[in-house]
Amino acid sequence: MKINQLNIVVLTGAGISAESGLRTFRDNGGLWEEHPVEEVATPQAWQRNPSMVWGFYQSRRRQLSEVEPNPAHFALSKLAEYAKDFFLITQNVDDLHERSGIMDVVHMHGQLRMLRCELSGKSEERMEPSDLESDFQFCTCCETASRLRPDIVWFGEQPMNMVEIYNKIETCDVFIVVGSSGHVYPAAGLVNFAKQSNAQTILINLEEPLNSFMFDETHFGSAGKILPKLVNEWIEQSSL
Protein backbone atom coordinates (compact mmCIF):
# COMPACT_ATOMS: atom_id res chain seq x y z
CA MET A 1 0.00 0.00 0.00
CA LYS A 2 1.62 3.24 -1.15
CA ILE A 3 0.26 5.56 1.53
CA ASN A 4 1.88 8.64 0.01
CA GLN A 5 -0.61 8.32 -2.86
CA LEU A 6 -3.70 7.70 -0.74
CA ASN A 7 -6.39 9.64 1.08
CA ILE A 8 -6.67 7.90 4.46
CA VAL A 9 -9.43 8.24 7.03
CA VAL A 10 -8.97 6.71 10.48
CA LEU A 11 -11.64 6.08 13.11
CA THR A 12 -10.48 5.33 16.65
CA GLY A 13 -12.50 4.00 19.56
CA ALA A 14 -12.09 3.32 23.24
CA GLY A 15 -9.65 0.45 22.72
CA ILE A 16 -6.77 2.72 21.73
CA SER A 17 -7.24 4.86 24.86
CA ALA A 18 -7.59 1.78 27.06
CA GLU A 19 -3.99 0.90 26.23
CA SER A 20 -2.98 4.19 27.86
CA GLY A 21 -4.85 3.28 31.04
CA LEU A 22 -8.20 4.96 30.36
CA ARG A 23 -11.12 2.64 31.01
CA THR A 24 -13.46 1.90 28.13
CA PHE A 25 -16.82 3.63 28.24
CA ARG A 26 -18.70 0.48 29.24
CA ASP A 27 -17.53 -2.82 30.61
CA ASN A 28 -19.21 -6.18 30.03
CA GLY A 29 -21.72 -5.51 32.81
CA GLY A 30 -23.13 -2.48 31.01
CA LEU A 31 -21.56 -0.06 33.48
CA TRP A 32 -19.52 3.06 32.84
CA GLU A 33 -16.80 3.15 35.51
CA GLU A 34 -19.22 1.42 37.92
CA HIS A 35 -22.11 3.76 37.09
CA PRO A 36 -25.17 2.71 35.07
CA VAL A 37 -25.08 4.72 31.83
CA GLU A 38 -28.46 6.26 32.65
CA GLU A 39 -26.98 7.88 35.78
CA VAL A 40 -24.07 9.73 34.19
CA ALA A 41 -24.36 9.93 30.40
CA THR A 42 -27.82 11.16 29.41
CA PRO A 43 -29.47 14.61 29.35
CA GLN A 44 -32.04 13.23 31.77
CA ALA A 45 -29.31 12.32 34.27
CA TRP A 46 -27.96 15.90 34.09
CA GLN A 47 -31.42 17.29 34.78
CA ARG A 48 -32.12 14.80 37.54
CA ASN A 49 -28.81 14.81 39.39
CA PRO A 50 -26.33 17.31 37.94
CA SER A 51 -23.99 17.00 40.93
CA MET A 52 -23.44 13.29 40.30
CA VAL A 53 -22.86 13.81 36.57
CA TRP A 54 -20.56 16.79 37.17
CA GLY A 55 -18.51 14.88 39.73
CA PHE A 56 -18.15 11.93 37.39
CA TYR A 57 -16.85 14.06 34.52
CA GLN A 58 -14.60 16.20 36.69
CA SER A 59 -12.94 12.99 37.83
CA ARG A 60 -12.45 11.93 34.21
CA ARG A 61 -11.11 15.40 33.31
CA ARG A 62 -8.56 15.24 36.12
CA GLN A 63 -7.47 11.79 34.94
CA LEU A 64 -6.23 13.25 31.64
CA SER A 65 -3.07 14.48 33.37
CA GLU A 66 -2.35 10.94 34.62
CA VAL A 67 -2.15 9.21 31.22
CA GLU A 68 0.07 9.48 28.15
CA PRO A 69 -0.27 8.57 24.46
CA ASN A 70 0.81 5.02 23.67
CA PRO A 71 2.66 3.57 20.63
CA ALA A 72 -0.61 3.25 18.67
CA HIS A 73 -1.24 7.00 18.98
CA PHE A 74 2.29 7.79 17.81
CA ALA A 75 1.99 5.31 14.92
CA LEU A 76 -1.08 7.18 13.65
CA SER A 77 0.78 10.48 14.00
CA LYS A 78 3.56 9.01 11.86
CA LEU A 79 1.02 7.75 9.32
CA ALA A 80 -0.43 11.26 9.08
CA GLU A 81 2.97 12.61 8.06
CA TYR A 82 3.35 10.20 5.12
CA ALA A 83 -0.21 9.96 3.76
CA LYS A 84 -1.27 12.06 0.79
CA ASP A 85 -4.26 13.18 2.87
CA PHE A 86 -5.09 12.15 6.43
CA PHE A 87 -8.27 12.66 8.44
CA LEU A 88 -8.72 11.36 11.99
CA ILE A 89 -12.11 10.77 13.57
CA THR A 90 -12.31 9.63 17.18
CA GLN A 91 -15.11 8.41 19.39
CA ASN A 92 -12.87 9.18 22.35
CA VAL A 93 -13.21 12.28 24.51
CA ASP A 94 -9.59 12.40 25.67
CA ASP A 95 -6.78 14.46 24.10
CA LEU A 96 -4.24 11.67 23.53
CA HIS A 97 -4.28 12.01 19.73
CA GLU A 98 -3.50 15.71 19.98
CA ARG A 99 -0.71 15.03 22.45
CA SER A 100 0.81 12.49 20.05
CA GLY A 101 1.16 15.21 17.41
CA ILE A 102 -2.12 15.10 15.45
CA MET A 103 -3.67 18.52 16.00
CA ASP A 104 -6.57 18.29 13.53
CA VAL A 105 -8.78 15.69 15.24
CA VAL A 106 -12.55 15.44 14.85
CA HIS A 107 -14.20 14.31 18.10
CA MET A 108 -17.59 12.73 17.39
CA HIS A 109 -18.54 12.58 21.05
CA GLY A 110 -17.06 15.80 22.39
CA GLN A 111 -13.99 16.51 24.50
CA LEU A 112 -13.22 16.35 28.19
CA ARG A 113 -11.05 19.47 27.90
CA MET A 114 -14.09 21.50 26.88
CA LEU A 115 -17.11 22.73 28.81
CA ARG A 116 -20.30 24.08 27.21
CA CYS A 117 -22.52 26.95 28.29
CA GLU A 118 -26.03 25.72 29.04
CA LEU A 119 -27.54 29.00 27.82
CA SER A 120 -25.57 29.97 24.70
CA GLY A 121 -24.25 26.53 23.69
CA LYS A 122 -20.74 27.97 23.26
CA SER A 123 -17.79 25.77 24.23
CA GLU A 124 -14.74 26.84 26.23
CA GLU A 125 -11.48 25.02 26.89
CA ARG A 126 -11.30 24.91 30.69
CA MET A 127 -8.39 22.91 32.09
CA GLU A 128 -6.82 25.21 34.66
CA PRO A 129 -6.56 23.72 38.18
CA SER A 130 -9.49 25.89 39.30
CA ASP A 131 -11.59 24.44 36.44
CA LEU A 132 -11.07 20.91 37.74
CA GLU A 133 -12.46 21.46 41.22
CA SER A 134 -15.64 19.83 42.47
CA ASP A 135 -17.77 22.99 42.27
CA PHE A 136 -19.78 23.78 39.15
CA GLN A 137 -18.04 26.09 36.68
CA PHE A 138 -19.61 29.09 34.93
CA CYS A 139 -19.16 30.53 31.45
CA THR A 140 -17.39 33.67 30.26
CA CYS A 141 -19.70 34.24 27.28
CA CYS A 142 -22.90 35.48 28.94
CA GLU A 143 -23.50 38.85 30.59
CA THR A 144 -24.59 36.93 33.66
CA ALA A 145 -22.42 33.83 33.82
CA SER A 146 -24.33 30.61 33.15
CA ARG A 147 -23.54 27.14 34.40
CA LEU A 148 -21.32 24.98 32.19
CA ARG A 149 -22.00 21.34 31.38
CA PRO A 150 -19.51 18.76 30.06
CA ASP A 151 -19.03 19.25 26.32
CA ILE A 152 -19.80 15.59 25.75
CA VAL A 153 -22.32 13.89 23.47
CA TRP A 154 -24.55 11.93 25.79
CA PHE A 155 -26.77 9.02 24.83
CA GLY A 156 -29.76 10.40 22.97
CA GLU A 157 -27.80 13.40 21.62
CA GLN A 158 -26.53 13.88 18.07
CA PRO A 159 -22.83 13.16 17.44
CA MET A 160 -20.76 16.12 16.27
CA ASN A 161 -19.38 16.94 12.80
CA MET A 162 -21.24 14.15 10.97
CA VAL A 163 -21.52 16.04 7.66
CA GLU A 164 -17.76 16.59 7.56
CA ILE A 165 -17.14 12.97 8.55
CA TYR A 166 -19.33 11.54 5.78
CA ASN A 167 -17.79 13.89 3.21
CA LYS A 168 -14.27 12.76 4.09
CA ILE A 169 -15.14 9.06 4.07
CA GLU A 170 -16.92 9.39 0.73
CA THR A 171 -13.67 10.48 -0.95
CA CYS A 172 -11.14 8.35 0.93
CA ASP A 173 -9.11 5.48 -0.53
CA VAL A 174 -8.51 3.67 2.76
CA PHE A 175 -10.65 3.57 5.91
CA ILE A 176 -8.90 2.29 9.04
CA VAL A 177 -10.66 1.50 12.32
CA VAL A 178 -8.64 1.12 15.52
CA GLY A 179 -10.04 -0.06 18.85
CA SER A 180 -13.77 0.23 18.19
CA SER A 181 -16.23 -2.35 19.50
CA GLY A 182 -18.71 -2.01 16.65
CA HIS A 183 -21.52 -1.48 19.19
CA VAL A 184 -22.03 2.29 19.12
CA TYR A 185 -23.82 3.93 16.21
CA PRO A 186 -23.46 5.88 14.02
CA ALA A 187 -19.70 5.21 14.38
CA ALA A 188 -20.14 1.45 13.90
CA GLY A 189 -21.91 2.08 10.60
CA LEU A 190 -19.18 4.23 9.06
CA VAL A 191 -17.40 1.18 7.66
CA ASN A 192 -20.55 0.40 5.65
CA PHE A 193 -20.42 3.87 4.13
CA ALA A 194 -16.72 3.45 3.39
CA LYS A 195 -17.40 0.16 1.60
CA GLN A 196 -20.14 1.81 -0.47
CA SER A 197 -17.59 4.47 -1.42
CA ASN A 198 -15.18 1.74 -2.62
CA ALA A 199 -12.58 2.38 0.09
CA GLN A 200 -10.28 -0.37 1.29
CA THR A 201 -11.28 -1.14 4.88
CA ILE A 202 -8.81 -2.21 7.57
CA LEU A 203 -9.51 -3.12 11.21
CA ILE A 204 -7.10 -3.23 14.16
CA ASN A 205 -8.85 -4.34 17.34
CA LEU A 206 -8.08 -6.31 20.49
CA GLU A 207 -10.98 -8.70 19.83
CA GLU A 208 -13.25 -9.44 16.90
CA PRO A 209 -16.11 -6.88 16.93
CA LEU A 210 -19.67 -7.37 15.74
CA ASN A 211 -19.02 -5.73 12.37
CA SER A 212 -15.69 -7.40 11.54
CA PHE A 213 -17.18 -9.03 8.42
CA MET A 214 -17.36 -5.58 6.81
CA PHE A 215 -13.56 -5.23 6.68
CA ASP A 216 -11.27 -6.29 3.86
CA GLU A 217 -8.35 -6.78 6.24
CA THR A 218 -8.40 -7.51 9.99
CA HIS A 219 -5.69 -7.58 12.67
CA PHE A 220 -6.55 -8.73 16.21
CA GLY A 221 -4.41 -7.88 19.21
CA SER A 222 -2.87 -4.86 20.90
CA ALA A 223 -3.00 -1.77 18.68
CA GLY A 224 0.18 -0.55 20.37
CA LYS A 225 2.02 -3.59 18.98
CA ILE A 226 0.24 -4.02 15.64
CA LEU A 227 -0.05 -0.44 14.37
CA PRO A 228 3.63 0.59 14.56
CA LYS A 229 4.59 -2.48 12.51
CA LEU A 230 1.85 -1.91 9.93
CA VAL A 231 2.67 1.78 9.53
CA ASN A 232 6.38 1.03 9.06
CA GLU A 233 5.52 -1.60 6.44
CA TRP A 234 3.27 0.85 4.58
CA ILE A 235 5.98 3.52 4.65
CA GLU A 236 8.54 1.05 3.26
CA GLN A 237 6.13 0.02 0.47
CA SER A 238 5.64 3.69 -0.41
CA SER A 239 9.37 4.16 -0.93
CA LEU A 240 9.72 1.28 -3.40
73 among known catalytic residues: no
Range 134-172 burial, b when 16+ CB lie within 10 A, else e: eeebebeeeeeebebbbbbbbeeeebeeeeebeebbeeb
Domains of the chain listed by start with CATH number: 1-22+69-109+158-240 (3.40.50.1220), 23-66+116-152 (3.30.1600.10)
Give which of 186, 182, 239, 233 is closest to 205, Cα–Cα: 182
pTM of this structure: 0.92
Selecting among 35, 73, 109, 183, the annotated active-site residue is: 109
Instruction: Give pLDDT tens digits along the chain (240 positions).
Output: 889 999 999 999 999 999 998 866 555 444 555 677 778 899 999 999 999 999 999 999 999 999 999 999 999 999 999 999 999 999 999 999 999 999 889 999 999 999 999 999 999 999 999 999 999 999 999 999 999 999 999 989 999 999 999 999 999 999 999 998 877 789 889 999 999 999 999 999 999 988 889 999 999 999 999 999 999 999 998 887
